[in-house]
Amino acid sequence: MGYDKTVARNMSRIEARKLSVALLAGCCLVILTYFISMSETTVDQQPSEAFGVGADEEVEEQMLSLQKPEREKKTEDAHETSAEERVHDDSSSTITHATAKEEPTETNKPNEVLIAAERSDGERIQMMKPPAEPICDFSNPRTEFCEMKGDVRIHGKPSSVVFVSPQQQSNEWKIMPYVRKQMENIEKVSVRTASSPEGVPSCTINQTVPAIVFTLGGFIGNYYHDFTDTLLPLFMTARQFDGEVQFLVTNVQMWWFGKYQQIIKRLTRYEFVDLDNSDEVLCHPHVMVGLRFHNDLMIDPARAPNGYSMTDFTKFVRSAYSLEREYAISLREQPDRKPKLLLVTRKGSRRFTNVPEIVAMAKGLNYEVVDEDASFGDVAGFVGMVNSCDVIMGVHGAGLTNFVFLPMNAVLVQIVPCCELEAMATHTFGFPSMAARLHYLEYNITVDESTLLQLYPRDHAVFTDPQSIHKLGWMDMEKIYLRKQDVKLDVNRFRPVLQKAMDLLRR
């Protein structure tokens, strides 16, 4: 059956992606370096805006900087603020993945006890006692994650976690409870070990379920970041407990619990604790600080609890919102039906300037077109419409995050604005949608389709030397390419992409 072939092809792509994710974890080779910077607009996002579904939000993403392979170069430029990450390049796929997580680092190396042993040939040798499980994993370039089982006490207001265990050497770490560890405006959580309870605050509340400590600071409030920075990492960290887990949260933003209540309810049956405003000493038998994270909107099943994958996540969110469609339309089985195309329009920058022309072209190809700006108050109502679609198309932006609600086998078409934003665009939505078993099509606009041509002469460096703009840092780059640019789609040049999407639904 043609459909199986498609799935098989997609699966092999997913396998390739898995390897790439593993490579990222190994972080042996840095070819692309992305910088993330804090944008005032995201950080100061108003709660009133937060109830939108986000087509109009920026993907305050990584600043593309091909020139800066060394992370040490960070923050020499005032504009390249808070954070930075390494992202693999496909050309690095030939390097074998050498080290994964859980390598003891200088700070968390356990007591090494030399013991004498006798080999079978009688010669005495010295052996290392097997090291105790390290508590914290610092191997991921993006995150820090600690996990403790036993007598763990969390003192709310100072955000201090103490693990009392006679096996542990005294040690202390400062952990960023957010999946971008270079973030600067988030309080770190202190995690320390104590070999005896002496001097450690006594429990004022004893709980029997595991706890996860994380923050709702950072870029939360941007639809894309809500998913890649909290909801997916929470799924990876909490889902395995099937609701029997409590969230201990810093930088609480109440709207987040309302907006994503369907998802949160499925992850925990317990009230969250506002750690910043709690003076209790909470005791849990199992505590995680930080969230599991592999890559943006990606899961590497080999490293995830229960082998979770992106399709497990999308299946989970479909179920949380009671979305019915698991698979997109098959035009082979139903050749007379019109596939439904969601055209994600934006209100701010990166708008289509010729929506009616695009709609007419798509209708001419026999699509039923839904043209939405996605500024809906209730996520639940909107995602039902998304799930009813077979193709979603839009200019690079947070609204494309809605792909997580599409049925499998559907098509995501990302329109990439000029100039040289392709790597960022593919990283943000390309790899993730393919891992979710969607088809992914990318359309790079030409300079002629960019409204930047009305602002800069054609021989300006903006067009002739985009790297010189990228090199200025994220803030300057985004001001031009992401904030000032709209797209006048050349429907004749674009038409084959929608034809290809139709072909993909026909298999």
Ligand X SMILES: *[C@@H]1O[C@H](CO)[C@@H](O)[C@H](O)[C@H]1NC(C)=O
Residue 209 sits in the site that holds ligand X (CB under 6 A)? no
Lay out the site mask for ligand X across 265-284 (x = CB under 6 A, - = otherwise): ------------------x-
**Other C-beta atoms lying within 10 Å of the C-beta of residue 38:** 20
* Residue of the chain from 43, 132, 203, 447 that contacts ligand X (CB under 6 A): 203
Q: How far is the CB of 144 from ligand X (least distance, A)?
A: 28
Nearer to ligand X by Cβ, of 442 and 476: the residue is 442
Of 202-210, 249-257, 450-458, 469-477: span binding ligand X (CB under 6 A) = 202-210
Token pair 């090291």 is found at 131
DSSP-assigned beta bridge partners for residue 415: 395, 443
Nearer to ligand X by Cβ, of 164 and 505: the residue is 164
Please answer whether residues 189 and 159 qualify as being in contact, where contact means their C-beta atoms are separated by less than 8 angstroms.
Answer: yes
Q: Which residues contact 479 (CB under 8 A, 6 or more apart)?
A: none
List the one residue out of 401, 406, 409, 386 whose CA is nearest residue 503. Answer: 409
What's the maximum distance between 2 C-alpha atoms anywhere in the chain?
85
Of 6-14, 199-207, 343-351, 484-492: span binding ligand X (CB under 6 A) = 199-207
Nearer to ligand X by Cβ, of 178 and 440: the residue is 440
3-class secondary-structure state, position 83: strand
Residue 66 sits in the site that holds ligand X (CB under 6 A)? no
Q: How far is the CB of 18 from ligand X (least distance, A)?
A: 21
Q: How far is the CB of 82 from ligand X (least distance, A)?
A: 27
Query: What proportions of the chain, in percent to the nearest 5, are helix, strand and coil?
Result: 35, 20, 45
Nearer to ligand X by Cβ, of 89 and 442: the residue is 442
Nearer to ligand X by Cβ, of 311 and 444: the residue is 444
Sign of the C-alpha dihedral, residues 231, 215, 172, 144?
Answer: positive
**507 vs 503: CA distance, rounded Å:** 7
Q: How far is the CB of 233 from ligand X (least distance, A)?
A: 28
Q: What are phi and psi of 248, to 5 degrees?
A: -110, 115
399 CA to centre of own chain? 14
Of 117-125, 203-211, 325-333, 404-412: span binding ligand X (CB under 6 A) = 203-211
Tokens representing 71?
């992370």
Q: How far is the CB of 493 from ligand X (least distance, A)?
A: 11
Nearer to ligand X by Cβ, of 164 and 436: the residue is 164
Nearer to ligand X by Cβ, of 215 and 414: the residue is 414
Nearer to ligand X by Cβ, of 140 and 426: the residue is 426
**505 vs 413: CA distance, rounded Å:** 13
Q: E-assigned strands of 417-501?
A: 439-444
Residue 206 sits in the site that holds ligand X (CB under 6 A)? yes
Nearer to ligand X by Cβ, of 38 and 419: the residue is 419
Nearer to ligand X by Cβ, of 389 and 418: the residue is 418
**What is the DSSP secondary structure assignment for residue 143, as one 8-state letter?**
-
Residue 444 sits in the site that holds ligand X (CB under 6 A)? yes
Of 115-123, 200-208, 331-339, 480-488: span binding ligand X (CB under 6 A) = 200-208
124 CA to centre of own chain? 51
281-289 and 211-215 beta bridge pairing: parallel
Lay out the site mask for ligand X across 348-377 (x = CB under 6 A, - = otherwise): ------------------------------
Q: What are phi and psi of 391, to 5 degrees?
A: -135, 140
Residue 7 sits in the site that holds ligand X (CB under 6 A)? no
* Residue of the chain from 442, 447, 472, 500 that contacts ligand X (CB under 6 A): 442
DSSP code per residue over 332-345: TT-TTSPPEEEEE-
Q: How far is the CB of 196 from ligand X (least distance, A)?
A: 14
**374 vs 252: CA distance, rounded Å:** 25
- Binding residues for ligand X restricted to 293-352, rule: CB under 6 A: none
Q: How far is the CB of 440 from ligand X (least distance, A)?
A: 10
Tokens representing 107?
């700070």
**505 vs 485: CA distance, rounded Å:** 31
Residue 467 sits in the site that holds ligand X (CB under 6 A)? no
Nearer to ligand X by Cβ, of 207 and 262: the residue is 207
Residue-level length of the chain: 507
Residue 422 sits in the site that holds ligand X (CB under 6 A)? yes
Q: How far is the CB of 420 from ligand X (least distance, A)?
A: 8
Q: How far is the CB of 497 from ligand X (least distance, A)?
A: 8
Q: Checking phi first, is residue 289 left (phi over 0); if not, alpha (psi -120 to 50) or beta?
A: beta
Residues that bind ligand X (CB under 6 A): 203-204, 206, 283, 422, 442, 444
